[in-house]
Structure 1
Amino acid sequence: MSTPAPGATPPAGDSLAPGLHVSAATSETLEDYTLRFAPRHYRRWAPGVVATSALGGIAYLADFAIGANIGIAHGTTNALLGIGIAAVIIFLSGFPLAYYAARYNVDLDLITRGSGFGYYGSVVTNVIFASFTFIFFALEGSIMAQGLELGLGIPVWLGYAISTILVIPLVIYGMAALSKLQVWTTPLWLVLMVIPFVYLVWANPSSVSEFFAYTGADGSGSSLSMSSALLAAGVCLSLMAQIAEQIDYLRFMPPRTPENSRRWWTAVITAGPGWVVFGAVKQAVGLFIAVYLIASADPLASATANEPVHQFLGVYQEMMPGWLAMTLAVILVVISQIKINVTNAYSGSLAWTNSFTRVTKRYPGRMVFVIVNLLIALALMELNMFDFLNTILGFYANCAMAWVCVVATDIVVNKHLLKISPMRPEFRRGMLYAVNPVGFVSVLVSAGASIAVFFGAFGPAIQPYSPVVAIVLAVVLPPVIAIATEGRYYLRRTDDGLDLPMTDEHGNPSGVVLTCHVCRQDYERPDVARCETHDDVVCSLCLSTDKVSDHVLPAQA
């Protein structure tokens, strides 16, 4: 790859935005294709390695807290039904997104742009996703602080700071470092997490019957209630945006070929929508351990049965000496927090950077937004968000469901069934309209209506059904608006001015390399277009930062 000399400036007539440092923006190590397609030469990992790295990001302990909280509120039967409903919805909506990311090697923001939102319209969904990353970073950081206080006597406020600062050096180097971290730590994490559940079932068989008989803290879950199950499902559905973090890894999948097709599909399904299977199991186990502590332990332990560090410590103490139990509980909490929060910090930085660059035409570097995301998360921790977990996650779920379900509906219905939406995800500036009402309006209406229902605007009877409202509107509106607008707002242009195929013989994005005449860097075919003012090509990165639109192709008649 040719790189301009330090301090070199673009040739006369070019409009590379001031402040765009090309060497930093195109750094494979630091920037990890923040704004663009992930090229073949960088995607060196086997499908299994990518899948393992992606699944390492679901090591979070929040699932245990979520399962315990909804079970204590609604009883085991309703909680398990809610977990199952949420898992089915998340799997079905996540499958088309994971496939498109792995097949076309783009993140969910780039998919969203061409799936009904437009070049600037997807900024609103980027904010939704960025919010997910700092909310869950704060949740996991709170759990780690609880562990550090319990095991090492570190004050909670200091534990919040440690859990935040610890992530920074680990997240700097993107996928190259994260893949190693996730692969190396996963075996130990699995052992530490599985042992307590296996021990309880083996040593205390009666804990299984007590688990299924549990009716909640106030006994209201003594019978099956669809409203209670949906309230539980609403909290679980806040995790729907996790598919975006899985996609941040899946976009580095190698090309699919006849030789690796089976391994490719296994990795995509397992690490894509399949993450929710592991998540649902963790939620059920979290409730199982909480019920055991409530039924068998002293009142003090029962009061903290929804906190993962106390859950695991309580079981470990029955298996081994107290000092060893405490050590293993703290190790598990720290490993889990690091595994998920490097992903939260990484994915959040991608989302903020992408939005900032599009709106301002200036690229500040991904690390700036790593710090921004972590500071927001730290503020949430200091405000003690853990005590308001159900309300925060229930509210957020409405936004996440609206976004993910709208994009999934556009892919399945508008692309494949109605053939209105373009089949290949387009993300380049100049090729897309600024805003497409198909997705933009759909997500605002579905999220807004479901949030109003969630907060009781239409009465308590319908309040538990806010997830249903979000999903139904997100499925119905995109095809209705697409048909009403005749698909006019998907593509501003159908021709990018280059007479070269976008895909290879197997339908994978082409690996043909072209040089951008603005930044003098090499890019693969899907990442470039013809320049409007020069008989040459320009990359999507330079198009994103072109403040005067010199290089952006005009709308096609």
Structure 2
Amino acid sequence: MNLNRHPHPEEPHVAQTPLRTETVPDTTTASSRIDSATKESLEDYTLRFAPRSYRRWGPAVVATSALGGIAYLADFAIGANIGISYGTTNAVLGILVAALIIFVTGFPLAYYAARYNIDLDLITRGSGFGYYGSVVTNVVFASFTFIFFATEGAIMAQGLQVGLGIPLWIGYAVSTFMVIPLVVYGMRILSKLQVWTTPLWLVLMVIPLVYLVARDPDAVGDFLAFRGEAGGSGVDSAFVMLAAGVCLSLMAQIAEQIDYLRFMPPRTAGNRRAWWTAVVMAGPGWVVFGAIKQVIGLFIAVYLISRAVPGASPQANEPVHQFLGVYEQMMPGWLAMALAVVLVVISQIKINVTNAYSGSLAWTNSFTRVTRTYPGRLVFVLVNLGFALALMEANMFDFLNSILSFYANCAIAWVVTVASDIVINKYLLRISPKVPEFRRGMLHAVNPVGFCSMLASALVSIAIYFGAFGAAVQPYSPLFAVGIAAVMPPVLAIATRGRFYLRRTDDGIDLPMFDAEGNPSDARLRCCVTGLEFERPDMIASAVPGPDGRTQYISSLALAQDKSGVHVLPPQRR
């Protein structure tokens, strides 16, 4: 069956025959057992499409869970750091520039995740990178998760030190290991945790700002006039871009939002408005909340510095001291300390369960694809936490700006490349297939369109960041990363005529991929390897026929672990 004959999700299809469940005899022996990968993937869908049978949450619950993941306090530190360095005007403009870029590039990715129910790695495979080519982007994303886990863990350790006198090195360990029990259980526990803790977190975060503005209106004027260590007056484009570069390191956050958005329910006529609201708010809309937090962090830091709050100014860029300094002016010292510690602990748990969860998915996905062995997601939870703990013990908070500025170039190169392929190559040029393909055998190993675009963008922008092209252009490395990643995918797609997107257009299954409303079909097929039934988008025909000569089907999960490759369909002549 040719996938091109399938209706595109945007074009409703009326099935000529009812969708059915195929039962294929299980003729395998050892391979028919349900291994640990299958059991675990039934909970968190580490390597695969998220089936409709699991997606029981409404749009509002998914959106709340996704937004709960941006409760991190790193935004307050980022805003304070760039403001102290470059002044309020340049910092705020840098925040706005970064927010605009992140929103525009994040929208198509969020839409694809919610519409097709796949994570960003699976989207990346079919958006110019190929089956193995997207492994490099998984490494970029996994690095994001442990860098920001370390940032939040360091903030929590600072809170434990200030509030309870716990040494930093012990605080680092506590903040690392306390998330393990929560992460093990996947999306079900994470969604409950985020929904339950969000109201308290919002109250603790908003109260300080409201209090400061109401009690001391002149603080707003001081904030706007703050020049920072650079001491310049007016707008300096170099400082604006240096500030934006730090903020753009958060671009990969869209991948964590997508780890929730892939569980969105099908879009229907009845829930269309709620569905779109959830996708926009919890997808690219996360950056609106992030930008607000960065400005608040800068505002509080300037307040502490300008008002010379005792003991707070030297640590005005540390969130625990920011909130403690404000709380102490509102209430008794013991209560201020308690609330500051509670805020830090809640924030750290909310974001770091997401960091640990998403990082483990990224490492597991890459490892399994390359080795075709599944060691279990828990192994990579521990690996990711080990990297984060090492960064914390190295006191990475002292050189946070440098780490984030460097990492931003890699994150921009990846996300903008995928967004460019979706918007330009899929919708405008129509060279890249609109339906994102992720299954082994359907894709080429590496697609130069996305893979080469990302490498070129990252390498050139990193070289610029380190001054290879002179000090004058050094602050603008993020803009070069955006420009190269946006332009190269369509250029390479045209040059290669799209030959490297699909290895096959026929997946061998004579069932529609989408239902009458354009959502991924919930028709089920039995996997000839595991003996389990999986939904249609997760399945592909096996190259091995059944004993009676009939076509057998295999899930993308089982196919990813097929070391012999006997089930992989051969290339299709075109």
TM-score of the superposition, structure 1-length normalised?
A: 0.96
Counterpart of 1:447 in structure 2 is 458
- SS for the counterpart of 2:39 is coil
Counterpart of 1:254 in structure 2 is 265
Cα distance in 2 for partners of 1:126, 1:29 equals 18
Q: Is the aligned partner of 1:35 residue 2:35?
A: no
Cα distance in 2 for partners of 1:398, 1:430 equals 32
Q: Is the aligned partner of 1:149 residue 2:165?
A: no
Q: Which amino acid aligns with 1:66?
A: I
1:394-409, aligned counterparts within 5 Å?
394-409=405-420
Counterpart of 2:562 in structure 1 is 546
Q: Which amino acid aligns with 1:555?
A: P
1:297 equivalent among 308, 325, 339: 308
- SS for the counterpart of 1:40 is coil
Q: Is the aligned partner of 1:237 residue 2:248?
A: yes
Counterpart of 1:5 in structure 2 is none
Counterpart of 1:429 in structure 2 is 440
Cα distance in 2 for partners of 1:555, 1:379 equals 44
Q: Which amino acid aligns with 2:80?
A: A
Counterpart of 2:399 in structure 1 is 388
Contact 1:200/1:207, CA 8 A, preserved across alignment: yes
Q: How big is each residue's C-alpha offset from its partner over 1:3-52, in whole Å with a ceiling of 9 and x where there is no partner?
A: xxxxxxx8448867xxxx83432336875000000000000000000000
Q: How big is each residue's C-alpha offset from its partner over 1:478-502, in whole Å with a ceiling of 9 and x where there is no partner?
A: 0000000000000000000111100
Counterpart of 2:553 in structure 1 is 537
Cα distance in 1 for partners of 2:571, 2:298 equals 55
Q: How big is each residue's C-alpha offset from its partner over 1:338-367, in whole Å with a ceiling of 9 and x where there is no partner?
A: 000000000000000000000000011111
Cα distance in 1 for partners of 2:30, 2:473 equals 57
Q: Note the C-alpha offset of 1:533.
A: 1.2
1:413 equivalent among 414, 424, 432: 424
Contact 2:309/2:325, CA 8 A, preserved across alignment: no
Contact 1:15/1:546, CA 8 A, preserved across alignment: no
Q: Which amino acid aligns with 1:215?
A: R
Cα distance in 2 for partners of 1:254, 1:30 equals 17
Cα distance in 2 for partners of 1:440, 1:478 equals 9
Cα distance in 2 for partners of 1:144, 1:495 equals 51
Cα distance in 2 for partners of 1:322, 1:523 equals 57
1:492 equivalent among 489, 503, 522: 503
Q: How big is each residue's C-alpha offset from its partner over 1:176-204, in whole Å with a ceiling of 9 and x where there is no partner?
A: 00000000000000000000000000001
Counterpart of 1:96 in structure 2 is 108
Cα distance in 1 for partners of 2:119, 2:134 equals 12
Q: Note the C-alpha offset of 1:553.
A: 0.3
Counterpart of 1:7 in structure 2 is none
- SS for the counterpart of 2:312 is helix
Counterpart of 1:121 in structure 2 is 133
Counterpart of 2:490 in structure 1 is 479
Q: Which amino acid aligns with 2:318?
A: E
Q: State the percentage of identical aligned residues.
A: 72
- SS for the counterpart of 2:534 is strand
Q: Note the C-alpha offset of 1:375.
A: 0.6
Counterpart of 1:363 in structure 2 is 374
2:187 equivalent among 157, 175, 179: 175
Q: Is the aligned partner of 1:52 residue 2:64?
A: yes
- SS for the counterpart of 1:432 is coil
- SS for the counterpart of 2:279 is helix
Cα distance in 2 for partners of 1:30, 1:192 equals 37
- SS for the counterpart of 2:89 is helix
- SS for the counterpart of 1:41 is coil
Counterpart of 1:267 in structure 2 is 278
Cα distance in 1 for partners of 2:160, 2:342 equals 10
Call closer, same or farther: CA 1:319–1:129 in 2, change over 3 Å: same
Cα distance in 1 for partners of 2:97, 2:318 equals 24
Q: How big is each residue's C-alpha offset from its partner over 1:247-270, in whole Å with a ceiling of 9 and x where there is no partner?
A: 000000000000100000000000
Q: Is the aligned partner of 1:330 residue 2:346?
A: no
Contact 1:96/1:411, CA 8 A, preserved across alignment: yes
Counterpart of 2:14 in structure 1 is none
Q: Which amino acid aligns with 1:277?
A: V
1:135 equivalent among 144, 147, 150: 147
Equivalent residues, number: 544
Cα distance in 1 for partners of 2:295, 2:199 equals 21
- SS for the counterpart of 1:456 is coil
Cα distance in 2 for partners of 1:471, 1:457 equals 18
Cα distance in 2 for partners of 1:28, 1:13 equals 21
Contact 1:72/1:217, CA 8 A, preserved across alignment: yes
Cα distance in 2 for partners of 1:29, 1:336 equals 28
TM-score of the superposition, structure 2-length normalised?
A: 0.93
- SS for the counterpart of 1:42 is coil
Contact 2:41/2:47, CA 8 A, preserved across alignment: no
Contact 2:31/2:530, CA 8 A, preserved across alignment: no
Counterpart of 1:528 in structure 2 is 539
1:68-87, aligned counterparts within 5 Å?
68-87=80-99
Contact 1:29/1:173, CA 8 A, preserved across alignment: no
Q: Which amino acid aligns with 2:570?
A: P
- Give the aligned CA root-mean-square deviation in angstroms: 1.3
Q: Is the aligned partner of 1:457 residue 2:468?
A: yes
Cα distance in 1 for partners of 2:30, 2:41 equals 27
Q: Note the C-alpha offset of 1:301.
A: 1.7
Q: Note the C-alpha offset of 1:300.
A: 3.6
Contact 1:24/1:31, CA 8 A, preserved across alignment: no
Cα distance in 1 for partners of 2:29, 2:62 equals 42
Cα distance in 1 for partners of 2:123, 2:37 equals 21
Contact 1:113/1:119, CA 8 A, preserved across alignment: yes
Q: Note the C-alpha offset of 1:217.
A: 2.3
Counterpart of 1:503 in structure 2 is 514
Q: How big is each residue's C-alpha offset from its partner over 1:421-478, in whole Å with a ceiling of 9 and x where there is no partner?
A: 0010100000000000000000000000000001111110000010010000000000
Contact 2:28/2:529, CA 8 A, preserved across alignment: no
User: Any unmatched runs of 5+ in structure 2?
Assistant: 1-20, 546-550
Cα distance in 1 for partners of 2:405, 2:361 equals 25
Cα distance in 2 for partners of 1:185, 1:514 equals 39
1:108 equivalent among 104, 112, 120: 120
Counterpart of 1:160 in structure 2 is 172
Q: Which amino acid aligns with 2:57?
A: W
Counterpart of 2:17 in structure 1 is none
Q: How big is each residue's C-alpha offset from its partner over 1:104-143, in whole Å with a ceiling of 9 and x where there is no partner?
A: 0000000000000000000000000000000000000000
Q: Is the aligned partner of 1:518 residue 2:529?
A: yes
